[in-house]
Structure 1
Amino acid sequence: MRQIVVDTETTGLNPRTGDRILEIGCVELHNRMLTGNNYHRYINPERDSDEGALNVHGLTTEFLSDKPKFADIVEELREYIAGAEVIIHNAPFDLGFLNAEFKRLNLPSFSEHIGNVIDTLVQAKEMHPGKRNSLDALCDRYGVSNSHRKLHGALLDAELLADVYLSMTRGQNSLSMEEEVAVSADGEALDNVPLADIIFQPASADELAEHEATLAGLDKAVKGACIWRALTAPAG
């Protein structure tokens, strides 16, 4: 599965009043692995940033004056994100700006170019109700180092969010076993070689006790029964 973690920096808070995107950063994941095929552009927004926004990202009008305009980068962005599942923290904000930029160029919306959208802010609120769930708070909670983050930056924030997302959703993704391929001593594949029998090794008493202690900790964290207990409860 191809996923793209997306973050933007903007001139202000509202695209409907003329605020624009001035930086976009994307981090690619393939089957939950970072690929290094990232995408990052500074963009000339053709207007000044609000004072509050400038204090957040630090990207001055002078710095951005010689950068490409959104129209100059939109085709490479469309190609990069096409069909991918997109991961965003507080998705309505970034999607609102991206869709507005695409609409300004009379293109199908950004949302129409991608697959599913995962909002990590929504996920975090469900997992940690009543807690702070900003990106900085999640970095602290999941042990993701953000000590080098003095100002917001789209690519840096996307990289941090990728690490947070993988930590939030860590665990076994599939119970299926990949087919083994037998090879000879010289490296040639051997056809019709049966797989070894699967050996079932039951958990020891100590392992079962440790598992129960982990579930009890999860129960305490969610102030109820964790989802694992519901999944393994006897039917009826």
Structure 2
Amino acid sequence: MPSSGFGHQPGKRTSHRLVVDELGQAIVSGRFAVGDTLSGDTELAARFNVSRTVLREAMKTLAAKGLVVARARIGTRVLPRANWNLFDGDVLTWHFSAGVDEEFLRHVSEVRLALEPYAASLAARRATDADIAWMMRLAVAMADAGHSGQTLAKADLDFHLRLLEASLNPFMRSVGSLIEAALVGVFRLTSPSADDSEIDRVAMAHIRIVEEIGRRNEEGARSAMEHVIRVGQERLILNLRAQDSSG
């Protein structure tokens, strides 16, 4: 779990990004409770060492994500979780940073199951030969024996984002940030290393998706994608339980 307070981390984040990240994480993790009123502009600007203009822009960003609402003469108040935009990549990333449970992971998988299998069926209907060749290269690249857990995760992410593109539905691509945040969060809970059997299993499951797309088999592509998501969810929950039992 994140520590309390606001620790400034060096890096390439802009002042705006730093304020958004740290306040967003503090809200999502519960360090600010629903209904809490944030400190005034002057205090927060001093805390983050930013101008009041930067602070106000950061607050507008958090408001757009549904986390806070500003009221004249009252201040900026934390909104209930029901108002948060969970399709926003930042909000989802902050959830994983704060720590997630099995229920949350199941909810994420349910959303992926609602979107990605249908995207795979659309790709079977619409993808160009070039799209299919590109996805196959990405799937085959997952079988590289030199993969670490981290590089395998990156290859997996590249594949899923490319498939959303291949559906030729701009709305599917627009939810790419959700899929990306979900996968990145999932990868944080998996082993930093990847053994040969795991690499082969992941690669073959993704190759099967592309093979079904190449056959223009919409139902086959849908089923293959569902399999990948369900198996990944089961493995993730087992990893989470193992971490909880060893913690």
Question: What TM-score, normalized to structure 2?
Answer: 0.28
Which of these two proteins has the greater Rg computed from alpha carbons?
1
Q: Which has the higher contact order (CA 8 A, sep 6+)?
A: 2
If the length of structure 1 is used for normalisation, what is the TM-score? Answer: 0.29
Q: Counting helix residues as a fraction of each chain, which structure ranks higher?
A: 2
Which has more strand, going by share of residues? 1
